[in-house]
Each structure stands twice: as structure tokens, then as C-alpha cells.
A and B are shown apart, each in its own frame.
Chain A
Amino acid sequence: MQSNTYTKAMNEALDSCLKKDKSVFVIGLGVPDPKGVFGATSGLRKKYGPKRVMDMPVSENALTGVCIGAAINGMRPVLTHQRVDFSLLALDQVINNAAKWYYMFGNQQSVPMVIKLTVGMGWGQGPQHSQNLQTLYAHIPGLKVVAPATPRDAKGLIISAIEDNNPVIFIDHRWLHETFGPVPEDHYKVPIGKANVIKKGSDITIVSTSYMIIETMKALNLLNELGIKPEVVDLRTLKPLDEKTIFNSVKKTGRLLVTDLSHREFGVAAEIISRVSENPKIKLLTSPQRITAPDFPAPSSPALSEHYYPRYTDIALKVVEMLEADKDRLAKLIAKDKESNKIPHDVPDDRFMGPF
């Protein structure tokens, strides 16, 4: 199987859908530009022409409505925004129309469209370029929300999202773009609404999603050295939430930690913990915990952002605390790890040079 970056996987998915279905079109600011939405849309215009791969005016709200109308009228639009934050200009169209159309007009017309949003992080992105607003969209009946963590899932979920007959919010994280992994070459779907147990374990269930999967897996390296075997559930889809996979795992481990980059209050983690707590068949050995972004905006300065985002060390510490394991040994492991790994906190890897 070929190995590809997350971005190339998204590009392959769009390419494959454009090729397969004439009703698909891709629209967004910068879609045909030399950067091609971080590479996700690169080369597509040349292949499919300006009527199917297009730029748009800086009119997020109107263009969301335009895509809704086009979707109602037989097309399958993919609308991209280079930051989640920009999509807020279009909340009227997303929440009042896309999410409700099928219901409010008596199930006569649905809105098969995808809104692809990128979450920014680090390199001083600051308060309006790095929001994790998956909770906002996941709150709205009628929307589906996916946030894949791996290249394979990114490709399969874009294809599923485009072929779905409902509006789907597709969230990719900027720090996943250059991650690498196996990606099948064919046109395949990863089902919406199915979580994936990416690491089997028995001591604790860590439910995570999107970029936090990377941090969680890094935490696992430390925890495994302490003999702790967490089970990791990658949600992949936030709405509809795959409770069953979560419940099955927590029933087995008896402990639950949720890691997610939305704010803490009323967030994704709050919802998952609620669902587990409501389930009378689950007896927890210790109170469930969450690791999230704090309840204030993301700052720009590296001196402040260093303390803003929860990282793998926070996850490892929380797990050790929940299991009442050896804190001192973990501290030593973290110190050693930091010694050998001196990448600055505000970039995903050494190659990253910004600017966005």
C-alpha cells in the first residue's frame, strides 16, 4: 500500500470524487491558487476545469447558501475554508438552512454538501485563527461532523462525506497535514458514525479525536514504559457519535479519559463523559476525566501558547494520576523525553516554517 501525507490523502479523495461524479464541485477561497488549500486542492483545476474547481468571492455566508441551493438542485458541493474561524460568518446558512432543510420542508429535499474546515495551531495563530469549534457544529441536529486523525481516514471520510446526502462538516487539523501513513489507492469509504479502536488495552479508555490522537499516542510511549496499557478510541466522527464503541471499551477498562481540543465547558469531552455516566451498565472505577483547551481564547505569543495547549505529557500525567501509578518515574521519563526531543512547542515538526 502507498504511504502518503494527510494532505495528499485529502487531495486524492477530492480527485477521486470529482472523477467519479459529475455533480461534485469544489469551491473555496484559494482552491485553485498556487498553495491549493495547503495542497488539498492542488492540481485539481487543471484536471477538472474552472467550472468544477473554483475560487470564490470573500462572501462566506452567501457562498454557503449558494452551495446549499446547488446541493438542493442536484449538485454535491465541497466548500472549503482555510480556517474554522472563517466559517462563523456563515452560521445563519449552516445552522438555519443546511442543517434544517430536510426536516423543515417535510423530508422532500436534502442538502448533500461538505464544508471542509481547517483548525490552526501554533506559530502565533492567536484568538481568531486557531479555534476548535467542533462542539458548536456537533450541537446542531441535522449536521454530521467528522474529524479524522489519520491519512487513511481522511481520504475515506472525505469520500463518505461527499457521497452522504446530508450536510457534513469535515474538520482537518493543520498539524495533521504533514503526517504520514498508509493510504489505499482506490476509491474507498470510511463510514461516518463509526469510531475506531486504534490501540487495544485494558487499564483505561482514552477517547480522542483529530490532532489529539497524535498527542495521545505519544503519551502511550511513556505509559507503556510504566507498564500501563491504555485502550485508545479514535472517534473519527463526532456526530453521530458512536456510543457503542466507547461503551464497550469503558465497560472493559472501567476508566475514562477524554482528550479533545475544544474548550472545556460544554465541550466534546463533556458530552462523552455525560453519555458514559448516564449508562447504568457502566461501573467506573474512578471518576472520568477530561483534557481540553482551557476556557479562554488561544493567545498568539509563544510564551503564552506554550501553556495553552494540553500535550502528551499532560495526558500521561492524568492517566498516572487516575491509575495511582508511579508519578516520580513518569516525571523522570518526561524529563528524558524532553531532553531528546527539542522541537519548539509552537510547530508540529522541525520543517514547519509557517507562515500559516
Chain B
Amino acid sequence: MMKKQNLISLYKKLILIRLTEEAIALKYQEREIRCPVHLSIGQEAIAVGVCENLKKDDIVYSTHRCHAHYIAKGGDLNRMMAEIYGKVTGCAKGRGGSMHLVDLEAGFWGATPIVGNSLPVALGVAFANKLKGNKKAVAVFIGDGTAEEGVFHECLNFAVLHKLPILFVCENNLFSVYTHLKERQHTRPIYKIAEAHGMEAYQKDGNDILEVYKISSSIIDHIRKGQGPAFLEFMTYRHREHCGPFYDDQLGYRDQKEVKYWLKKDPVTNFKKYLLDHKVILETEMEKIKKEAMGKITRALDFAKKSKFPKQEKDFRKLIYAK
């Protein structure tokens, strides 16, 4: 079994992400958050299990569903919330919104909301790391839909060709908006594509945080040793709608049996149970952790709401061109 300290660290991040997302879902309905939000509720274990194995100066890239990755990598919560609220104190000064989170200091170098779009950029960062000869690892989060993009195949080829220090993390939540994977891809598993390109690739249960942590730990070690790129496909499920704060199963696009199956596999509930069953932590300690997280979230919301909106600059040229 992992050390108590490590298990608690995983739990703290997991619960912080879950509670942050739930708070955003609630606040969204006040109509002060005026940008699309893609909540990661149900998928948090992957972000935490992977990022817990990364160092501060390792680099992460993400997608439209980026809140969990940002928080798991240690991104500043106040600036994230301010960004979602469109404030000048936001991590992208209010220009990017929820889908363009960034925190350079934390090694979260950016998220972009076009399928497969941040993937080659992450690869280029890994390429430069290799050219410069440093030991930093890069992890890039993608979804199952990315495997349908041409750029995905181009990137896997290039990563192997140059033996780049990058981890591809595919969160397979079975859906691209409302369209099931089986309507978009042949039945072969996604990780097999990466394997065929010649890299280490595995498929694991993305809702089991310990399994995510364990495989990530060994595979990131492999990357750090200069043994080339690796690919992890994690099976998971989003609880709520593709974009927005609500549940949308009244639309009937998901099989109710499937929904029930995955809700039972909720990563937060199950990890809580694991920690209590194995007496890693007492219920009272758990409550304390939750309270601390709620405190952080309340402060972040307060920071976001009290922050000023950005002003429209007259000379827009200096905003789009670097000196």
C-alpha cells in the first residue's frame, strides 16, 4: 500500500477538484460566469493520478475540459476562477476564459478547446526540451475524439521518431458531445494505435485513482530515463452534460445502464471508501480536508467576484504582437 501521506495528498486534490467543479456548476446559474464550462466531474482521478507524478517544472497541456488538469498540476485557484469570471486578474487576463487556462509557474502551459489542437504544441515543447537536453517531462491530455484527428497520428509518429519525452494521456469518456465512440471509431482500442506506432501504451481504469497513479508513476519514470514517449488510455465517464452545469440524461443519448454503471464507479466516492475501509483516515479528518477545500473555493470565488473586469485597450497591436 502507498504511504498514508501520499494517499491523503491524492484525496486532497481529488476533493478540491470535485468541490470546485460543483461550486462552478452552482454559481454558473447566477449568470455571472458568462463563458462555456466543461466540467470534469467523474473524470478527476486521471488528472490527479497523473499530475501527482509530475514535478513542478514538468509541463502539462490540456483541452477544453481542463479545470481538473489545471488544479491537479497546482494551478492557482484564484486566478482560474477570475478567468472564468472574465476578470483582469484571471490567469489569461480574461482573454481565454474557462477553456484557455494557463499557469506557467505551476507548469500548466495551456489548454485549447479545438480537438487535437494543443497536442502538437505539447509535442513541440517536448521536442525543444530534448534539443536543449533538459530532463523535463511533458504530459498532454486529450480525449477519445482526438484519435479521429489526423494530427493525432502525425504526432504519435513524430514522438516515436524523435524519442520525445512526452506522455499522451487519453481520457476516453466514450462520448464526443452526444456521439458515442462506437459511432465514431472501429472497435479497436485507442491505445493500440499508439502501440502500433511503436511506443509503450496501456489501457487502464481511469476511475481507479490508485491504478492511474501506479501506471503513471512507472511510465513517467520510463519517459524521464529517455526511453521515449508513452501512451495511457484511461476509461472514464463524465457525469454531467458535455458543456454546462447540468445533467442531460433526459436527452436520451446515453444508455441508462451505462450511466448507472459509471456512477457506481465514481472516483471520489470509491476512493473515500477505500481510505476509510483501510483506516488511512478518519471520517473527521476527511471532513476537515473538505472544509479546507471549501475555504479555498470560497476565497477564490470571492477573489473572482471582487476583481475588476479588463479594460478595452485602444492600441490593440501591443496585445497581439510581442516586442
Question: Residues of A at under 8 Å CB distance from B?
Answer: 25, 51, 56-57, 59, 61-75, 92-93, 96-97, 101-110, 112, 141-142, 144, 165-166, 240
Contacts and interface: CB of A to CB of B under 8 A. Distances in A.
Interface in B100-151: 100, 102, 104, 109-110, 112, 114, 117-129, 131-132, 150-151
A96 B93 CA distance: 18
B124 A71 contact: yes
Interface in B302-322: 316-317, 319-322
B319 A103 contact: yes
Contacts of A56: 158
Contact of A72 (B112, B125, B161, B317): B125
A25 B121 contact: no
A104 B91 CA distance: 10
Contact of B154 (A61, A108, A109, A142): A61
25 contacts: A59-B155, A65-B117, A65-B124, A65-B155, A66-B124, A67-B124, A68-B124, A69-B123, A69-B126, A69-B127, A70-B124, A70-B125, A72-B124, A73-B129, A93-B120, A96-B114, A101-B110, A102-B320, A102-B322, A105-B96, A106-B90, A106-B96, A109-B104, A141-B316, A165-B322
A69 B91 contact: no
A102 B132 CA distance: 23
B323 interface: yes
A104 B99 CA distance: 10
B107 to A, nearest CB: 12
Contact of A57 (B104, B131, B161): B161
A69 B122 contact: yes
Interface of B: 90-96, 100, 102, 104, 109-110, 112, 114, 117-129, 131-132, 150-151, 154-155, 157-158, 161, 316-317, 319-323
B152 to A, nearest CB: 9
Contacts of B125: 69-70, 72-73
A224 B8 CA distance: 85
A67 B154 CA distance: 14
Nearest to A113: B124
Given A62-B154, A62-B158, A96 B117 contact: yes
Contact of B110 (A67, A105, A144): A105
Contacts of B150: 61
Contacts of B102: 105-106, 108
A75 B95 contact: no
A109 B107 CA distance: 13
A165 B104 contact: no
A59 B319 contact: no
Give the interface centre of B122, B128, B161, B316 by most chain A CB atoms within 10 Å.
B128
Contacts of A61: 120, 150-151, 154
Closest 7 CB pairs of A and B: A69-B124, A65-B120, A62-B154, A110-B322, A59-B154, A106-B93, A73-B128
B95 A102 contact: no
Contacts of B123: 62, 65-66, 69
Given A67-B124, A105-B102, 20 more contacts: A61-B120, A62-B120, A62-B151, A62-B155, A64-B120, A65-B120, A65-B155, A66-B121, A66-B124, A66-B127, A69-B127, A70-B131, A73-B128, A102-B321, A103-B95, A106-B92, A106-B95, A108-B104, A144-B321, A166-B321
